[in-house]
Amino acid sequence: MPFPPITLTERLLHAVKRLEVDTPAGIRLATGYCCQVPVNDERSLPAIVTTRQALAQATSVATRFHIAGPQGPTRESVELRMEGATLNIVQHPNPGVDLAALLHARAMLGWQAAHPGRQLFAQWLDQAGFFAEERWEELDAQESVAVIGAPEKLWDGANNLPLLLAGSTASHPLLDYDGRPEFVITARVLPGMWGAPVFLQQSGGRGGRTPEALASRSRFGLLGTLRGGMGADPHGLGLVVKARETSRLLESVRADVAGRLKPN
């Protein structure tokens, strides 16, 4: 059972969030995934990565976190809403890249201050969860991927957990599809999943694309972020912004926050 999460996949489920984005036109549903941004040697900052389109014209954003227990998350979850001073959005530095980060630390601290003795359970990705940049040369034209998302009509509200869907690369991940830092996957892509993380499926024992690749090494890690712009059903295709752009977004967050910290 994923309470508490034990396996890598169970922990990843707890890192992915369903986002309810209030806009002047109504509520938009999307997916985001929690990352940890090292600001300096003493401080890290949590951020929820999603798409720029998902957060466009947002007046507030709500998601749900599990309550923390002695051994991890409990089954109880509560809403965390970001609005006004707690709605802090950082866009990718390149306007052409469909990524943005939602900084939710202030909202979390505010919730916990209003509920003494209770803590929100936090699970996140750090750079160790990314498929290493130096290993991308191992990738073949067809790779198995896992997409963890929160579809609009298939949301498991009772457990507050997303779905894990299997797929494969449809364009070569080493190439920038149509000149953008993206590639295409074939998967069951449904409304509400924009912003979902896409992972290379673990397949220990499989060789890489080059003779030098170590077949015994585990092949798992974040490859990118699912975005809109291409048909979902019935085509079953999705565009994925490469993980290197997630790293650039998080570096932009780090630089922005570090620049505003007062020196000791």
Identify the pLDDT of residue 215. 44
Domain map of the chain by residue range?
Answer: 8-126+247-260, 128-243
- Between the alpha carbon of residue 194 and those of residues 5, 21, 133, 189, 222, the distances in Å are 24, 12, 23, 9, 15
pTM score: 0.89
Q: Domain 8-126+247-260: give its CATH superfamily.
A: Trypsin-like serine proteases (2.40.10.10)
**DSSP 3-state assignment of 56?**
coil
pLDDT tens figures, 169-226: 999 999 999 999 999 999 888 889 999 999 998 654 444 544 444 444 467 899 999 9
pLDDT tens figures, 157-166: 889 999 999 9
Q: What is the mean pLDDT of residues 94-115?
A: 94
Identify the pLDDT of residue 216. 42
Residue 76, both tokens: 């109880």
Identify the pLDDT of residue 229. 58
Q: Measured between alpha carbons, how far is 255 from 250 in angstroms, rounded to an integer?
A: 9
pLDDT higher than threshold 60 for residue 38: yes
What whole-number percentage of the chain has pLDDT above 90?
Answer: 66
Question: From the CA atom positions of the chain, what is the Rg in Å?
Answer: 18
What CATH number belongs to 128-243?
A: 2.40.10.10
Is 77 in contact with 3 (CB distance < 8 Å)? Answer: no
Same fold, 8-126+247-260 and 128-243: yes
**DSSP 3-state assignment of 218?**
coil
Phi/psi at 24 (nearest 5 deg)? -60, -25
In the chain, the DSSP E strands lie at 16-23, 26-38, 44-50, 60-69, 72-83, 88-91, 100-103, 144-149, 163-169, 182-187, 197-200, 221-227, 237-242
Residue 245, both tokens: 């752009």
